[in-house]
Amino acid sequence: MLDYTRVICSEITVAQLAEGVTPHVLRHETNLMVDRMLGLIATCDDASVVFQPVDPEAHDAHAADADAVDLAWTLGHVIVHATASSEEAAFLAAELARGVPAHGRSRYETDWTTVTTIAQCRQRLNESRRIRLASLELWPDQPHLDNTCAIWEGGPIVNAVSRFLYGLVHDARHLGQIGEIVRQVQVQPRTA
């Protein structure tokens, strides 16, 4: 697996991480990432998905509901958020690869409150894998890697490869959060 922590810790840029990365590598990395997430939740049950973890650093400035701004995310919430972000990155990357000028976002996120079972989390991860891998099939044989855009206003300039990688970096940022939720679930007292 690529070392996403170096980007997260600002040791290197995503553009530097992207050097030499091909669509084949992006496929491989997508499979590794989804497998890693599935591995983290392998021992979880339905109660784990809706378990309310303790997260003193919880803060979602983009929360639709003001009451949810400082609410710690459940496992279901983290899974739907991470997959939506990576799918958005994959679709925007495919457009850049095809030479389409950047035009904004391409995002859909499942309502996390509807994800209440571990089967739904696994289904969402596997569906996201399929969607992301399928997006790479949209890339032309000679992708337009000179087609770039700012990832956000004033943000880094990316091409198709680095745009796709931003989704995987985002996933990597949530691995620790998923692991911590699972750890808290495992140490909580269970009632018979």
CATH number, position 86: 1.20.120.450
In a domain, 83, yes or no: yes
In a domain, 192, yes or no: no
79 vs 109: which has the higher pLDDT: 79
The reported pLDDT for the residue numbered 104 is: 82
Q: What is the pLDDT of residues 94-151, one digit of tens each?
A: 999 999 998 888 888 899 999 999 999 999 999 999 999 999 999 999 999 999 999 8
Q: What is the pLDDT of residues 60-72, one digit of tens each?
A: 787 777 777 778 9
Domain that holds residue 129: 5-187
Q: Where are the alpha helices (DSSP H) in the chain?
A: 5-8, 14-18, 23-40, 46-50, 75-97, 118-136, 160-187
Other Cβ atoms within 10 Å of 64 Cβ, number: 8
In a domain, 32, yes or no: yes
Count: domains in the chain:
1
Distance of CA 144 to the CA centre of its chain: 24
What is the pTM (predicted TM-score) of this model?
0.93
In a domain, 24, yes or no: yes
Q: What is the pLDDT of residues 11-23, one digit of tens each?
A: 999 999 999 999 9
